Amino acid sequence: MRILLTNDDGISAPGLRALVEEFRTGHEVLVVAPDTQRSAVSHACTFLSPIRLAPYAGGFPGIEEYSINGTPVDCVFLALFHLWKDNPPDIILSGVNSGANMGYDVMYSGTVAAAMEGSIHGHKAVAVSLNNRHPVHFAAAARLAHRLADKIVANPEALPAPPQTLYNLNVPDLPLQDIKGVKFTHQGLTIYNQYVVKRRDPWERDYYWLSGDQPGGHLDEGSDFAALDSGYASLTPIQVDCTNYQTLQRWRSTLSADLLDDF
């Protein structure tokens, strides 16, 4: 396989290192990742300042790795439209993120956004995230990501997804043999407990931290949260198109044309 690896936790993060370790033999691997922690930047991209590309010295010999002073989406952009412009990847893997990307967190996630950038441009893409605030079993998640990538690339009919749809894999923080399996899920409903921490700097000016407790999720049947809660990994198809088709249909079928005439 020809594989593009990226993440949002930074090039030296243990989750990305686990993916490089997992894929480094028998595959063509390109790593492009942010030089620092870039979690929760979602689909941000850098158009108003220059991007620097630096070879990464901390990796394995023979693997092409770069860090950039940009976002996860910038990484995919540079790979697809510069580094591997003439020979695109078979698949893009983003992760392994330190922390799950389920429910509404999908909207904030740089990990998911990097995969989505691949989807937008018609590539097969997987976001892989490991549950827990300080997870440890990155190698297990990387192994599951490898099995998933094999299925997606080797036999596109086995687990098909239309263009503009990415595979969002969330893995419980357990040794591989203790993960019960994988469930197909829908994006669940996150329960946030957010708050702002107000502090004062040495010049007696106020500053703020946007913060929150570790979010929970509704355990409704078939959701990503329910799968992880019962010891399974969760695989959700996530689409770029955010249109609420049910509502659109209802508007078109039940609202009178006068409403639009009034605009």
- For 122, which DSSP code? T
Radius of gyration of the chain (CA): 20
**DSSP alpha helices (H): ranges in 13-155?**
14-23, 72-78, 105-108, 110-120, 138-154
Stretch that binds Mn ion, among 94-102, 178-186, 233-241, 252-260 (CB under 5 A): 94-102
71 binds Mn ion (CB under 5 A): no
97 binds Mn ion (CB under 5 A): yes
Question: By C-alpha distance, which of 132, 92, 131 is closest to 112?
Answer: 92
CA distance 201 to 36: 24
119 binds Mn ion (CB under 5 A): no
Q: 3-state DSSP call for residue 185? A: coil
Q: Which is nearer to Mn ion, 40 or 53 (CB)?
A: 40
Q: How far is the CB of 175 from Mn ion (least distance, A)?
A: 22
Q: Taking phi first (over 0 means left), then psi (-120 to 50 degrees means alpha), and beta for anything else, what does residue 26 get?
A: left
8 binds Mn ion (CB under 5 A): yes
Q: Which is nearer to Mn ion, 46 or 153 (CB)?
A: 46
Stretch that binds Mn ion, among 92-100, 112-120, 147-155, 169-177 (CB under 5 A): 92-100
Contact criterion met (CB below 8 Å) for 91 and 123: yes
117 binds Mn ion (CB under 5 A): no
39 binds Mn ion (CB under 5 A): yes
The one-letter code for the residue type at 172 is P
Q: Residue 68 to residues 52, 225, 240: CA-CA distances in angstroms? A: 6, 33, 25
Instruction: Supply φ then ψ for residue 66, to 5 degrees.
Output: -135, 145
212-241 binders of Mn ion (CB under 5 A):
none
Stretch that binds Mn ion, among 20-28, 36-44, 46-54, 230-238 (CB under 5 A): 36-44
Q: How far is the CB of 167 from Mn ion (least distance, A)?
A: 17
Q: Parallel, antiparallel, or unpaired: how do β-strands 194-200 and 206-212 relate?
A: antiparallel
9 binds Mn ion (CB under 5 A): yes
Stretch that binds Mn ion, among 39-47, 53-61, 68-76, 245-253 (CB under 5 A): 39-47
Q: Which is nearer to Mn ion, 88 or 92 (CB)?
A: 92
Residue nearest to Mn ion (CB): 39
Stretch that binds Mn ion, among 8-16, 147-155, 196-204, 216-224 (CB under 5 A): 8-16
The binding site for Mn ion (CB under 5 A) comprises 8-9, 39, 97
